[in-house]
Amino acid sequence: MATWDDIRAHLRTRWSVVHDEASNFAISCRVPVENREMEQAIGMAPTQLDGAPWLAIIGELFPETALSARGALVYADRLQFGAIVLRGDRYLLRFGMALSGLSLTSLDWHLAIVVREAVRLRVNLLGPKNASAFDNYIE
């Protein structure tokens, strides 16, 4: 089982780290979209579910004003995994996973999917714009 410290150490070697604390971690990556690149912010925090260690992963999406509540529910219904949540005045893509039995290879795979899905949602709604918002990565 990967621990939170194992995860942070692993991510430091593979991603561009924006924020690294004992209680939360944020990375940034650039994703090719059409003829440009989009910056995608992803945050992580350790959490507990029924006494078991879990990892909360969030991907920055867009401002609340960019999507109605009804629109968010329609988008949420089309997600293959995770949930669209509203935190403050920003929509986020939220995904949770148990740390029990989690390998670092599996973590990388899940992070890549969260990144791609967040970018896909942003492109579908806002178009391929550059953005670098990291205000909402703390769980």
- CATH number for the domain spanning 88: value is 3.30.1460.10
Instruction: Say whether pTM exceeds 0.75.
Output: yes
Q: What is the rounded CA–CA span in Å between residue 100 and residue 34?
A: 38
- Residue 46 lies inside a defined structural domain of this protein: yes
- The total domain count for the chain is 1
- Residue 132 lies inside a defined structural domain of this protein: no
Structural domain for 96, as ranges: 4-126
- Residue 133 lies inside a defined structural domain of this protein: no
| CA dihedral (126, 112, 99, 78) positive or negative | positive
- 3-31: average pLDDT: 93
Residue 2 has pLDDT above 80, yes or no: yes
Longest alpha-carbon distance in the chain: 46
- Residue 118 lies inside a defined structural domain of this protein: yes
Q: What is the rounded CA–CA span in Å between residue 117 and residue 50?
A: 28
Name the helix (H) or strand (E) containing 33: strand 25-33
- Residue 131 lies inside a defined structural domain of this protein: no
- 71-91: average pLDDT: 90
Residue 87 has pLDDT above 60, yes or no: yes
| Span 50-66, pLDDT tens digits | 999 999 999 999 999 99
- Residue 134 lies inside a defined structural domain of this protein: no
- Residue 136 lies inside a defined structural domain of this protein: no
- Residue 114 lies inside a defined structural domain of this protein: yes
